[in-house]
């Protein structure tokens, strides 16, 4: 698993990185269970200098998943925006996994039906 945390237009912060790593642990755990191939996680922080209008982007790329979650909202503290992005990505991963399993079940059933017709 390859994880990259990028700080755009700001200095590197160990406190923010530690907070992000703690919250990304649940996504990493989820992906370790379901993915055995290379998995890439990119977390990009882009704060606003003028007011609290921060942009946080989280990308997850693997053979089964290619998801992007972006959160940009005025008036939300930086740590809260980070929590929101990670929770939304976690929900997207669970939904995508459910859909993949549903499609696999459909394919297995249809192959059996075609074999019976022949």
For residue 75, what is the DSSP state?
T
DSSP three-state, residue 44: strand
The domain that holds 65 is classified in CATH as: 3.30.160.100
Phi-psi region of 117 (alpha: psi -120 to 50; beta: other; left: phi over 0): alpha
Looking from the CA of 54 toward its CB, the CA atoms found within 13 Å total: 21
Q: How many domains does the chain have?
A: 1
pLDDT digit string (tens) for 74-116? 778 888 889 999 999 999 999 998 988 887 776 665 556 666 6
Residues 6+ positions from 53 with CB-CB distance below 8 Å: 72, 73, 74, 75
The Cα 27–Cα 44 span in angstroms is 16
Radius of gyration of the chain (CA): 18
What is this structure's pTM?
0.79
Domain that holds residue 67: 2-117
User: At which residue do the structure tokens 């907070």 appear?
Assistant: 19
pLDDT digit string (tens) for 31-63? 888 777 789 999 999 887 777 778 899 999 988
């Amino acid at each position: 698993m390859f994880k990259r945390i990028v700080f755009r237009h700001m200095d590197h912060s160990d406190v923010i990185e530690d907070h992000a790593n703690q919250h990304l642990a649940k996504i990493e755990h989820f992906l370790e269970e379901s993915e055995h191939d290379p998995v890439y996680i990119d977390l990009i922080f882009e704060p606003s200098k003028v007011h609290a209008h921060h942009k946080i982007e989280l990308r997850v790329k693997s053979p089964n998943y290619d998801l992007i979650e972006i959160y940009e909202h005025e008036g939300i503290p930086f740590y809260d925006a980070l929590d929101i992005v990670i929770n939304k990505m976690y929900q997207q991963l669970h939904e995508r996994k459910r859909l993949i399993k549903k499609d696999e079940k459909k394919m297995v059933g249809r192959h059996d039906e075609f074999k019976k017709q022949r």
